[in-house]
Amino acid sequence: MNKQAEGNALTARRADDRETLFWSERGEVTCAMHAPYPGSDTWRWERWSPMTEVERREWSRQLGHPPKCEVCQ
């Protein structure tokens, strides 16, 4: 993921933002507080990125419920 996405994730984490969701290439979904630290090896190797509004809508359409943090649920 690019530096801008890492910066956005870091800002969300510092703000204790639990509404902004992130997901990995493996399909894990978490809020900013439970995602790997932006820029860490895990963040980069698992290719974490913010979920876009389009991805959230598609998730809801396919699964019948909105995405939510797997840890906070």
Q: Is the pLDDT of residue 1 over 60?
A: no
Quote the tokens at residue 2. Answer: 């690019």
pLDDT value at residue 7: 76
| Domain count within the chain | 1
List, for residues 5-21, the tens digit of each pLDDT value. Answer: 777 777 877 777 788 89
Residue 33 lies in a domain: yes
Residue 71 lies in a domain: no
Q: Are 46 and 25 in contact (CB under 8 A)?
A: yes
Residue 30 lies in a domain: yes
List, for residues 17-36, the tens digit of each pLDDT value. Answer: 788 899 999 999 999 899 99
Task: Write out the residue range of the structural domain in which residue 19 sits.
Answer: 3-63
pLDDT value at residue 10: 76
pLDDT value at residue 2: 72
Whole-number Cα distances in Å, 2 to 37, 43, 48, 50, 58: 14, 11, 10, 11, 23
Q: Are 21 and 57 in contact (CB under 8 A)?
A: no
Residue 25 lies in a domain: yes
pLDDT value at residue 29: 96
Helix/strand number for the chain, H first, E second: 3, 3
